[in-house]
Structure 1
Amino acid sequence: MSELIEKVLSIQELLIARAMDEHHQGANDTFLELRNEIIAIKSLSQYIPSILKNSRSLDQFSEYLKYNFNSYQDCKNLIYNEFNELFDVLENLDTTPLDQLVISTLDKLSSDYIHQIWQKALERRNSDPEGAITIARSLLESTCKHILDDMQIDYGNAPEINHLYRLVSNELNLAPSQHTEKVFKQILGGCNSVVEGLGALRNKVGDAHGQGKKNFKPSARHAELAVNLAGTMAVFLFSSWNLKNE
């Protein structure tokens, strides 16, 4: 169970305890801290229960119950019903296999789809940074494969991301050697470095490979950097490929 799901469960338990008229020391401070953290996640805003949005303290929640419900069971049912959709979303994020979060069919690739997977990876950066890094790298890899498949270019059975990117960049006129302007050579050379770095990072700290006794645990900020770099490169490649097709 992810850390995020555990936090939402804690909020739900605090609300149920207050509905039973239980007053525990520090409960309101804990509720406020957890509530503010969940509310701040913009990608979840449409799934956050209205009772959580409208209750800025446990006392405020108590007042709401006092004027709207007559029994504890009614209050409990309300809380469970209000949180159902949020839990469904979080559990889906927490359990969906990584290979279902990347592009698997030719008709799926679009700018919107890339942004959708990009957002899914960002949503995992706090609860599962290793998984977010793996999704980021897989997104870029799948984008490259999609473009090469469309161009009917063979890339072998188990190509490295660096090899895939070199093939795509050559076809889309994005290789540094294909340009004479210094600034373009620098930028496109930087793109090569980003792709190489993402491949190395995923192999080092992603969840696709086991690690030895000494291992580095990425933080949310490392995952966010990897995801944003991969997303930016995927969108850039898609836009360049789309322009070439037009």
Structure 2
Amino acid sequence: INNTFIIKEISTAINPIIPSVQKIDRNYIADLSTRAMKDIDEENFDSALTKSRTLLEEVFCYVIERKNEIPSGKGDINKYYKQVKNLYNMHQSKDADRQINELLSGLEKILSSISNMRNINSDAHGVGSKRFNIKDYHARLFVNSAMTMADFILSVSKNSN
């Protein structure tokens, strides 16, 4: 705790102090993205993928809570995004501009790719010999895509009534 080690008996309950995220904002997005890019520079691509997914999950949960709702995804990032879309009326619409609808469709593809790659190929789960070795440019694409999507969702939330 705070760079101090404490030795306790095995039967003693340990209550770790976990820093909570006080505010999700552009600085938070930039900080987590910077840490993910540092992981890439250190060739820790799995960790960068995990941070990309974490960034999106944190932002989704935050904007859901801003609407005084409880995130209902139970760790399923696609369910969180669906809840965000419903709460912020982000559905594709025949009345909306075609490019906006295409952009929203693209966001869903980005989210799906990040979620799948993180679940299948990051340090979150063991995958054995099926592991696909991603390159640094793939990892950068994931981090930058997550950062862009997180910033967009945060902006939608802040501009919502």
Distance across 2 between alignment mates of 1:166 and 1:186: 17
Q: Which has the higher helix share?
A: 1
Cα drift, residue 210 of structure 1: 0.6
2:72–2:80 CA contact under 8 A, matched in 1: no
**In structure 2, what is the equivalent of residue 221 of structure 1?**
137
Q: Once superposed, what is the RMSD of the aligned Cα atoms?
A: 2.0
Of the two, which has the highest radius of gyration? 1
Distance across 2 between alignment mates of 1:121 and 1:104: 19
Aligned residues: 143
Among all aligned residue pairs of Structure 1 and Structure 2, give the percentage whose two residues are the same amino acid: 29
Cα drift, residue 170 of structure 1: 2.2
Q: 1:177 to 1:212 in 2, by over 3 A?
A: farther
Query: 1:52-111: CA deviations, max 9, x gaps?
Result: xxxxxxxxxxxxxxxxxxxxxxxxxxxxxxxxxxxxxxxxxxxxxxxx8xx943x32111
Unaligned runs of 5+ in 2: 1-17
The equivalent position to 2:101 in structure 1, one of 185, 192, 199, is 185
1:108 and 2:23 matched? yes
**In structure 2, what is the equivalent of residue 76 of structure 1?**
none
TM-score normalised by the chain length of structure 2: 0.80
Distance across 1 between alignment mates of 2:53 and 2:102: 23
Q: How does 1:1-246 map to 2 (within 5 A)?
A: 104-105=20-21, 107-127=22-42, 128-156=44-72, 158-177=74-93, 179-245=95-161
Distance across 1 between alignment mates of 2:20 and 2:92: 29
1:133–1:202 CA contact under 8 A, matched in 2: yes
Query: 1:169-222: CA deviations, max 9, x gaps?
Result: 222222214753222111111111111111001111111011122211222111
**Structure with higher RCO (Cα < 8 A, 6+ apart):** 2
* Secondary structure at the counterpart of residue 209 of structure 1: coil
Distance across 2 between alignment mates of 1:109 and 1:180: 29
Distance across 2 between alignment mates of 1:111 and 1:228: 14
Query: 1:153-181: CA deviations, max 9, x gaps?
Result: 23336241111111112222222147532
2:73–2:80 CA contact under 8 A, matched in 1: no
Distance across 2 between alignment mates of 1:235 and 1:157: 20
Distance across 1 between alignment mates of 2:82 and 2:93: 11
Distance across 1 between alignment mates of 2:131 and 2:115: 17
* Secondary structure at the counterpart of residue 192 of structure 1: helix
* Secondary structure at the counterpart of residue 244 of structure 1: coil
Q: 1:179 to 1:139 in 2, by over 3 A?
A: farther
Distance across 1 between alignment mates of 2:102 and 2:65: 28
Q: 1:220 to 1:179 in 2, by over 3 A?
A: farther
Unaligned runs of 5+ in 1: 1-99
